[in-house]
Amino acid sequence: MKYLTFGEIMLRLKSPGHECLFQNGTLEATFGGGEANVAVSLANFGVDAAFLTVLPDNPVGSACMGELRRFGVDTSRILTRQGRMGIYFLESGANQRPSKVVYDRAGSAIAQTAPSEIDWDQAFAGIGWFHITGITPALSESAMELSLCAVREAKARGVTVSCDLNYRKNLWKYGKEAPQVMRELTKSVDVAIANEEDVQKSLGISAAVDVTAGQLDREKYRALGDQVLREFPNLRLIAITLRESVSADINGWSACLNNGSKFYTSRRYEIRDIVDRVGGGDSFAAGLIYGLTHYQNHQEALEFAVAASCLKHSILGDFNRVSVADVEKLMAGDGSGRVQR
């Protein structure tokens, strides 16, 4: 099975450690973005993963492509054209001080690309699974069209489609509300992934859940999933991550999966010294995609996804660098952190 993910990858400029942005004259320059993060994580699990995007034809774009290749991601389907690369600035929070993301992604190459510029036959050649998120259609009118086109082209070819509903309130500036677009897009999706806020803001389906509270009521999530599956009968399943934000360093982390007939809840992990929260949801998506295609049942797939994304919180950068062995060790119950010699 070959996997394809599609979306925007950005230059990520982070202040070192816990420093505020521009506190000193250095920024850590890496790359990241929802769908690219999924591709890299899949490649790190040893499967054949490709990433589709549009990059500027300059040293920033080629450095990005090299970085993806380093992880073994197939970059041969990536388009290059004029334009710029989206950027996000990141300041890492601590305790009560939240992490801050400052977007500088307007006018990126991908946001200016029309569906006709992509050769979909070539893009989907040999692909069995396609992954997209709610971020891409939020970028621009043309990116929204690209996104809808992509999922429909995927379905037309019998490719399984997963979508992380990811809601970003500082995007969606081109005149459409998220639900208008996302409800349409979800009609071509097989596997939906979300956190509680995404479901509400992206699909306009509201749940009586208080996000800012520490403890989460898992049972309410069963009902929320049921409702989504009722409204979108094409969906085979929906998985929802459950983050309990105690502080910027301390989170509870678990998830549930609703496949219409059964509701699974995962083991809950207490993460008390978060290294990097960004990309946590993406690492869950990658884990779930891997899990659904490599394990016998949904419970195991879910546990793999949660364990994989739990580990991501201890890794710097957008990309989850763990292997299947690392994840299965944690799934098997060893989260003691004992030195491996």
* Residue 251 backbone dihedrals phi, psi, to 5 degrees: -135, 145
Candidates 12-20, 144-152, 181-189, 254-262 — which segment interacts with a second copy by CB under 8 A?
12-20
- Of the residues 145, 184, 326, 328, which one makes contact with a second copy according to CB under 8 A: 326
CB of 297 to a second copy, least distance (A): 23
Q: Examine residue 233 and tell whether it contacts a second copy (CB under 8 A).
A: no
In the set 164, 190, 282, 318, the catalytic residue is 282
Q: Which of 182, 290, 302 is nearest to 242 (CA)?
A: 302
Instruction: Classify residue 182 by burial, with Cβ atoms within 10 Å: 0-12, 13-18, 19+.
Output: buried
CB of 87 to a second copy, least distance (A): 7
Concerning whether 282 is annotated as a catalytic residue, the answer is yes
Residues 43-62 that bind a second copy (CB under 8 A): 58-60
Q: Examine residue 249 and tell whether it contacts a second copy (CB under 8 A).
A: yes
Is-contact 205 179, C-beta < 8 A? no
Q: Which residues contact 73 (CB under 8 A, 6 or more apart)?
A: 36, 39, 40, 43, 49, 50, 51
Q: Which residues contact 313 (CB under 8 A, 6 or more apart)?
A: 251, 253, 271, 274, 275, 276, 277, 280
- Of the residues 1, 20, 114, 125, which one makes contact with a second copy according to CB under 8 A: 20
- Of the residues 80, 227, 245, 259, which one makes contact with a second copy according to CB under 8 A: 245
Q: Examine residue 205 and tell whether it contacts a second copy (CB under 8 A).
A: no
Residues 132-171 that bind a second copy (CB under 8 A): 168-170
- Of the residues 67, 153, 196, 303, which one makes contact with a second copy according to CB under 8 A: 67
CB of 107 to a second copy, least distance (A): 5
Residues 95-114 that bind a second copy (CB under 8 A): 95-104, 106-107
335: helix, coil or strand? Answer: coil
CA distance 90 to 279: 12
- Of the residues 111, 290, 311, 318, which one makes contact with a second copy according to CB under 8 A: 311
DSSP 8-state symbol, 209: -
- Helix ranges restricted to H, 215-266: 218-231
- Of the residues 48, 79, 80, 89, which one makes contact with a second copy according to CB under 8 A: 89
Residues with active-site annotation: 282
